[in-house]
């Protein structure tokens, strides 16, 4: 209750990990940490689904439905009758919620 941020779409398959540590370098919230021969998923609920880890993983050990967690854009898309997942974009000239 009162916490909508416990689950995310981040999925990690440690069997594929080759321990290159790239995900630990790109993650801004220390979701992954160095482990024994492979990286560990240590703070899954801190994931903000930016997608940096999945995009930079050389062996596709990580998947995440990346997107910007911006209510303004999602509500605007919903009001225009567009799909909240595909139409949402941040940072355009026609109104942006990004700082």
Min dist CB 56 to another protein, Å, is 5
Min dist CB 42 to another protein, Å, is 12
Q: Burial level of 12, CB count in 10 A (0-12/13-18/19+)?
A: buried
Instruction: Find tokens 């779409």 and name the residue.
Output: 9
Contact by Cβ (8 Å): 21, 61: no
Considering beta carbons, is residue 38 or 72 the nearer one to another protein? 72
Considering beta carbons, is residue 16 or 78 the nearer one to another protein? 78
Q: How, if at all, do strands 32-33 and 62-63 pair?
A: unpaired
Min dist CB 36 to another protein, Å, is 18
Gyration radius (Cα) of the chain, Å = 16
Considering beta carbons, is residue 41 or 51 the nearer one to another protein? 51
Q: How, if at all, do strands 11-12 and 32-33 pair?
A: unpaired
Contacts to another protein by CB under 8 A: 2-5, 7-9, 22, 24-30, 46-52, 55-56, 58, 65-75, 78, 84, 89-91, 93, 96-99
């Amino acid at each position: 209750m009162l916490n909508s941020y416990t689950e995310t779409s981040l999925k990690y398959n440690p069997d594929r990990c080759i321990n290159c540590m790239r995900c630990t370098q790109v993650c801004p919230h220390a979701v992954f940490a160095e482990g024994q021969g492979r990286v560990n998923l240590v703070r899954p609920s801190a994931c903000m689904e930016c997608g940096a880890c999945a995009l930079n993983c050389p062996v596709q050990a990580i998947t995440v439905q990346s997107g910007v967690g911006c209510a303004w854009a999602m509500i605007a898309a919903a009001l225009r009758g567009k799909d909240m997942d595909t139409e949402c974009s941040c940072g355009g000239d026609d109104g942006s919620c990004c700082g």
